[in-house]
Every structure is written in C-alpha cells, then in structure tokens.
Amino acid sequence: MGAWEFYLIVLLVYLGTDLLAAWGLNLEFGVTGVANLGYIVTIAAGAYAYVICTLDSPASAGGFQQYVGGFGLPFPIALAGGVVAGSVVGVLIGITGLKRLRQDYQAIAMLVVSLMAATVVTADTPFLNGNAGLVILPQFAPLSDQDPELQRWVYVGIVAVCCVAGYLVLRRFTTGPIGRTLRAVRDDEYAAAAIGKNIVVLRLVVQAAGGALGGLSGALLVGFIGGWSPGAWAYVETLALLTAVIVGGMGNDRGVSIGTFVIAILLLQGVQFLPQISSRLGLKEDLGWIVLGTVTILFIWFRPQGILPERRPKYGASP
C-alpha cells in the first residue's frame, strides 16, 4: 500500500470521526442550545469503553497495563459499547445543565466537568492506566486476520457506514416534529414548556443522542489508531470542534460539515505545510493556535451565523 494511499485513508477516517463528533455537538449546541463544552468527554468515554471491551483481562493481555473490564468482545459489540458509554456520559453531563442557568454559566459548568473527568482518569491509575493510556495490541484490532490493505479500506467503509447512520440520526432530530420542538426549546424555552413539551426529557434525550454520536466517533478512532490516552482529549479539542460548528453554521448540518472540513483538515493540517519560519521549533503550532483563536473571533464578529446559516422555515405570514 503506497504511503499516499495510507495518508488518504487516515484523512478519511479522521474526517469521518470528526464529522460524527461535530454532528453530535451540533445536535446539542446548534439545534438545542445546550452549550456542552465538555463534549470531548463523551468521545473519550466511547474510546475507552471500546478498548476495555476489546482487550482481554489485564493479566492475559500482557500485564503491562491496568484497567477495569477487559471483556474480549468482538468488534461490533465493542463499538456498541462505545456508543452506550458516550450516551451515558452525555446524559450525566446533561444533568449538570438542567438547571436553567444562563447559557455561558452552563458552558463553564460543562467545561469544568470535562476537566474533572481528565483529572480523575489521570489520578487513578488502576482505572484506565492513568497518563500512559491504553494500547490495543495488534491482535485485537478489528479484522486483524485479513490482509492489511483490505483491512484498512474496509475500515474506511465501516466509518462511512457509521457516518451515514449518524447523519440519519441527526436528520431525525433536526427535521420533522422533533426538530421543530427542539428549535422551539432553544429559542424560547418557556413558550415550549407552555404548550406542554416536556423540556427535561427532551434535553436528556438530545444529550443521549449527541453523546452516542460522540462515543461512536471515539470508538471508531481508537479502533483505527490503536491507542488512547488523556493527551488525546484535552479540553482544547472541544474548542476546535466548537470553532468548527460556529464557522460552519450552527444548526445547519451541511454548514457544520463544511466547518469541520475547513477547521480540521484545512486549517489544522494545512498549517503543517507552512515552511519553517524561524529557528524556534514549535512556532508553527503556536501560530496555529493563534490563527484558530483569531478565526473564531473574526467569525463571531463578522458572521455569527456561520458559512451556511441555518435556514429558518417559513410558516406563513410573519406577525
């Protein structure tokens, strides 16, 4: 397999998993207005759940990592485990947001939840191997008994299928009666409650769905790259995702996908192709963060509705 081919596969898998994560976040934030700055924890939960489902018990897997679980389950079930874990974590995070706090306070609360999760995982080594993270040994990788070329393209296919499924879930929530209800909740919660919509249940269902998409994203990614550690889910990852949502256009599925493409691929990968400007190593990446932050500010300043703004449906004559 040529190196360019493999790079393409990597980009496709990363794009697919980034899309799933962005759609989940869009569901929670863009459509329902839940400011979930702790979204990255659902992705991490999915990844970790996948790993502990896939590996055998710690001792029989080599004894060099400590973790709970180790069930030795096949790929589809481990993937489902990731989805469920993401979902559960999503609901738990959502409970912290139920109190009708102002949106920015809520955002900080959720951010703090993600920081707490990171601290607990790194502090408690027997739980998920602390900072060293977990490694999926090659023999546990999905389809590992197949020819590697085939294995990788089939994996891209699996990611693609999951993206289709995820997109359908997203559409279900953003269009049709459920979508309208969610927008009503976002735009005027009291009115929505006044006409009998059960806000609490709806919010939690959305958190579960968004978390499920996040968990799926994490599980698919870790199945491909073979390892996961706290370094992979620092809270700045949610920032990058949020920028994607804002840049692409909140509440708009197409826009969010474009935003993800722009940020994840063009900006973050494109920065790597810049020539080495000075002798100071790491300058490129520092500049990358500065650019990302500036782009976000500029977008909110000039075009808060994003590249493709949400298309508000029209319901007859305006008041």
Angle at 162 between CA 228 and CA 238, to 5 degrees: 45
> Which pair of tokens denotes residue 160?
């693609």
What is d(CA 24, CA 28) in angstroms, rounded to the nearest whole number? 6
Which of the ranges 80-88, 197-205, 208-216, 250-258 carries the binding residues for other proteins, by CB under 8 A? 250-258
Answer yes or no whether residue 275 interacts with other proteins by CB under 8 A. no
Binding residue for other proteins, selected from 234, 266, 274, 311, defined by CB under 8 A: 234
Give kind and range of the element (H or E) at residue 134.
strand 134-135
Q: How far is the CB of 21 from other proteins (least distance, A)?
A: 12
User: Cβ distance 86 to 42 under 8 Å?
Assistant: yes
Question: Of 84 and 256, which has the nearer Cβ to other proteins?
Answer: 256
Q: How far is the CB of 42 from other proteins (least distance, A)?
A: 15
Answer yes or no whether residue 35 interacts with other proteins by CB under 8 A. yes
Which of the ranges 80-88, 204-212, 239-247, 306-314 carries the binding residues for other proteins, by CB under 8 A? 239-247
Q: How far is the CB of 6 from other proteins (least distance, A)?
A: 6
45: left (phi over 0), alpha (psi -120 to 50) or beta: alpha
Ranges within 84-113 binding other proteins (CB under 8 A) = 96, 99-105, 107-109, 112-113
Question: Of 77 and 234, which has the nearer Cβ to other proteins?
Answer: 234
Ranges within 111-140 binding other proteins (CB under 8 A) = 112-113, 115-116, 119-120, 122-125, 130-133, 135, 138
Answer yes or no whether residue 176 interacts with other proteins by CB under 8 A. no
CB atoms within 10 A of CB 274: 11
Answer yes or no whether residue 229 interacts with other proteins by CB under 8 A. yes
In terms of DSSP H, where are the helices of 188-261?
189-194, 199-225, 236-248, 253-260
CB atoms within 10 A of CB 282: 7
